[in-house]
Structure 1
Amino acid sequence: MARPAGRRDEIHATFIRHVAERGYELTNLGDIAGELGMSKGTIVHHFGTKAQMLRELEENYMRRQLSAVRRMWERLEAPQERIAAIVYASALLHVVDRDATVATQREVVQLADDPQMREVRKLRTEMQELTVAELRRGIESGVFREVDVELTTLQIWGSLQWMWVWFDPEGALRPEQVGASFVDLVLGGLLLDRLPVARLADPKGPIVTAVRECLEESTEVQGT
């Protein structure tokens, strides 16, 4: 019997969900095969190893994120708006791309020394460098106070990477609210003039709208 089109994508999507729910170490190719009604050999035929499946997950996810951020940069110009956008995106991804977001966040150090993960590390560095650049631009333009931009970038991303541990998008708080709280905390400590914080941390404001649209557009493009 012929396998339906997109079978490889179905396997990978199931793998991503298992990693999000159980973690990489507890994700078993046999369980995935059983769930999808196929042999384990079919999965090996498509991907080779479980590690390759993780590499594809990480690389595809980072490319989607970077694509979305570039779209955001076209719509948002001020450094404080761009920093807010990065924060909102991290929260909204828990709805727009939930399984992949949780899977990548909980396995951020997995295969960190694997030579095959070089491209993933490069993409992660690129994302951090975009943050560094906006922090520097904000300082140089007199919008942000003087901070160690490298350290601040690590603090921002370090906080956002742990969101999967405690944030339940089906709970009482919506991702826009969580993002707004982070924006208030981050930009409240960066801005020399705190007056714009209320606008930037508005969960119903135009920045949130732009971020959501850019994330959805990037996800749709990558999925075609």
Structure 2
Amino acid sequence: MPRSPGRRGEILDAFVRYVAERGYDRTNMGDIADELGMSKGTIVHHFGTKAQMLRELEETHLAVQLDALRMAWDRLAAPHERIAAIIYASALLQVIARDATVASQREVVQLSDDPAMQQVRKLRVQLQTLAIDEIRNGIEGGVFRSVDVELAALQLWGSLEWMWVWFDPADSPPPEQVGAAFVDVFLGGLLLDRLGLSKWASPSADVVSVVRECLASVSGATD
């Protein structure tokens, strides 16, 4: 997640790490203040409430994903390439922006009905719509078999949003390998012709390089 400069950035970085490690409910301003050697009042001055910090975390992290994928769309035209890009982006973020990814995914329903989280909900819908549109385009273009488009997109995002639970950068296979396995199963289940599947379901696939470059461009992060 791109970092804001100064003390405000330090506070948000610490908050993101605590939420990733403990969850939102067990994260408190007092611990952040103690770690950073400041008063709780300083945190309140910058953010107001803990909920405001969660909103900023979610908005920033989801915007990075959207911006990276939209940039990738300029380089990847085919529906199957774009679906693969969504999968590889999610896998790579487990390493490139680990704390923000875990914090966002574990708290996906936190404050979900809060009016202040309207922009977060909008960004999540936009991400889901990317998958819906490409699955539909693939069906209409004769590349994918006919499926319930919205259910297929929910299946995809549901599996990707759950990755934080079991993925461990120190223990799991590399994110490119994990992404390739997901592409093999999900994209393989959509394609009418699986002959070229290995071209996209590979850790060294061109789409992986495209996604990595786009993520680095929008976030300034490298793995």
- TM-score, length basis structure 2: 0.96
Q: What is the CA distance between 1:71 and its match in structure 2?
A: 0.7
Counterpart of 1:55?
55
Counterpart of 2:90?
90
Q: What is the CA distance between 1:220 and its match in structure 2?
A: 2.0
- Listed as ranges, the matches of 1:193-212 within 5 Å are 193-212=193-212
Q: Partners of 1:197 and 1:30 in 2: how far apart? A: 51
**Structure 2 counterpart of 1:162, one-letter code:** W
Moved over 4 A (4+): none
- Listed as ranges, the matches of 1:94-109 within 5 Å are 94-109=94-109
- Listed as ranges, the matches of 1:1-224 within 5 Å are 6-220=6-220
Q: Partners of 2:18 and 2:93 in 1: how far apart? A: 18
Q: Partners of 2:163 and 2:218 in 1: how far apart? A: 21
Deviations 1:4-42 (A, max 9, x none): x61101100100000000000000110000000111111
Q: What is the CA distance between 1:72 and its match in structure 2?
A: 0.6
Q: Quick one: structure 1 residues 200 and 133, their matched pair in 2 at CA, closer, same or farther if it must change by over 3 Å? A: same
Gaps of 5+ in 2: none
The DSSP-based 3-state class of the residue aligned with 1:75 is: coil
Alignment RMSD, CA only?
A: 1.0
**Structure 1 counterpart of 2:186, one-letter code:** V
Q: What is the CA distance between 1:172 and its match in structure 2?
A: 4.3
Q: Partners of 1:186 and 1:198 in 2: how far apart? A: 13
Aligned length: 217
**Structure 2 counterpart of 1:175, one-letter code:** P
Q: Partners of 2:137 and 2:88 in 1: how far apart? A: 20
Q: Partners of 2:179 and 2:53 in 1: how far apart? A: 30
Deviations 1:164-206 (A, max 9, x none): 0000112141000000000001011000001111111010121
Gaps of 5+ in 1: none
The DSSP-based 3-state class of the residue aligned with 2:204 is: coil
Deviations 1:36-81 (A, max 9, x none): 0111111011000000000000011111111001111011110000
The DSSP-based 3-state class of the residue aligned with 2:134 is: helix
